[in-house]
Amino acid sequence: MPFARVDLVKGKSAEYRAAVANVVADGIVGVLKAPKGDRFIVVSEHEPDNLIYDRHFLGSERSSDFVLIQVTSTVGNDKESKLAFFRYIADELKSRLSIRPDDVMINLVFVERSDWSFGKGDPWT
């Protein structure tokens, strides 16, 4: 059951932010194989001074369109799924929103089912 966070510089339209969230959701369901409807995404906008990143780290050329995506999940925890997810997100953001692949950073965090409560304080078992 994934939960995603998307961080980007303030100033993008609501449509742009929704499109980024849609790409992430599509990748979570289509690539990581989460159940359909498993959509929990927070998009956070930051003043340029509050989204701090190295524009040239590991040979990338990042711009002010930098997008940081973090997904916490119990599904897709094999190397092939992870790599496919990374590629899917980068390709789709480029295709749908013209976001350069250098501007896309993704971090996956895997946890156990017992680390989740989906409501009422009840554990997910």
Identify the CATH number of the domain in which residue 31 sits: 3.30.429.10
How much is the average pLDDT of 66-88? 95
Q: Residue 92: what pLDDT?
A: 98
Please report whether residue 79 resides in a domain.
yes
Taking the C-alpha atoms of residue 41 and residue 47, their distance in angstroms, rounded to an integer, is 20
In this model, does residue 118 exceed pLDDT 80?
Answer: no
Domain hosting residue 108, numbered range: 3-115
User: For the whole model, what pTM was predicted?
Assistant: 0.91
Please report whether residue 122 resides in a domain.
no
Please report whether residue 120 resides in a domain.
no
> Which residues, in sequence order, are bridge partners of residue 23?
none
- The count of domains in the chain is 1
Please report whether residue 121 resides in a domain.
no
Please report whether residue 63 resides in a domain.
yes
How much is the average pLDDT of 103-122? 87
Chain-centre distance for alpha carbon 4:
5
